[in-house]
Amino acid sequence: MSDSVPRQLRLLHVHAHPDDESSKGAATTAKYVAEGVEVMVATCTGGERGSVLNPQLAGRPEIEDNVAEIRRAEMARAREILGIEQVWLGFVDSGFPEGDLLPPLPEGCFGLQDPTVAAGRLVKVIRDFRPHVVTTYDEHGGYPHPDHVMCNRITVEAFSAAADGDLWPEHGTPWQAAKLYYHTGFHRRRDEMLEEAMHAAGLHYEAPHRSQDPFADGRVTTFIHCAEYFEVRNDALRAHATQVDPDGPWFAVPLAIQQAGWPTEDFQLVVSKVPTMIPEDDLFSGLRPDALVPEFMI
């Protein structure tokens, strides 16, 4: 893969909340930014209903009472660390319903939107930014948070709608992104390899994100080698101080063991408008300067 990008390639990540861009694919993001790719994150909600998950900050009224404002500031720090552009889609966080029976979602929240309508905001982003590649979560949201599931739904809808001149004409010139990916960063094969590497180093470890989907391994098509950017990812994660415990499971595996045990971040190719070969090691496979790319994707 070339270290330079003669044609300006563009990558759009669509995420549910501030911090998701740092916990899912952030080393891949940092790698492509370093190569000269223009990367944008579209954040669907402000994370207004998120709990303070860092025990060092939990219970402090000045934080608990200002979560929305603080999370925007955390996002600004993470954005700077990753070197990305970022846009807020402006939907309201649904919260994560828990209990038996599950409580209803709050009125007007993101998880209750009609995806064909809500996708309009993302259509405008796609047409303005004109990404070649778009990423989001799988149809289960990666995990069953209603905002993550809705994030998938509006992204799939907008990926197609942005290319259709009959839809959302008020949002600009149609644009067909070339490829759509789902994040598959947490899967059983990766977890097992990291556990094995930890045990080989004499350290106890049980992966906290073991996939609940026994078929998740079979979904992975694309392995991005980005171990040298794992520390950038960790710095971006720490920027979301209300959401990430610096002494917690995100950092339980030493950096060197992560880099040796599983040096990639992984994705599932869902749609490709250009020829490619599986497995891939590049989200832009089929889109590099030596590839035959339709002019409307350039």
Check whether 20 is labelled as a binding-site residue. Answer: yes
Residue in 158, 155, 178, 176 with CA at minimum distance from that of residue 168 = 158
Check whether 204 is labelled as a binding-site residue. Answer: no
Backbone φ/ψ region at 47: left (φ over 0), alpha (ψ -120 to 50), beta: left
Check whether 225 is labelled as a binding-site residue. Answer: no
Annotated binding site: 17, 20, 148
Which amino acids are annotated as binding site for Zn(2+), given as ranges? 17, 20, 148
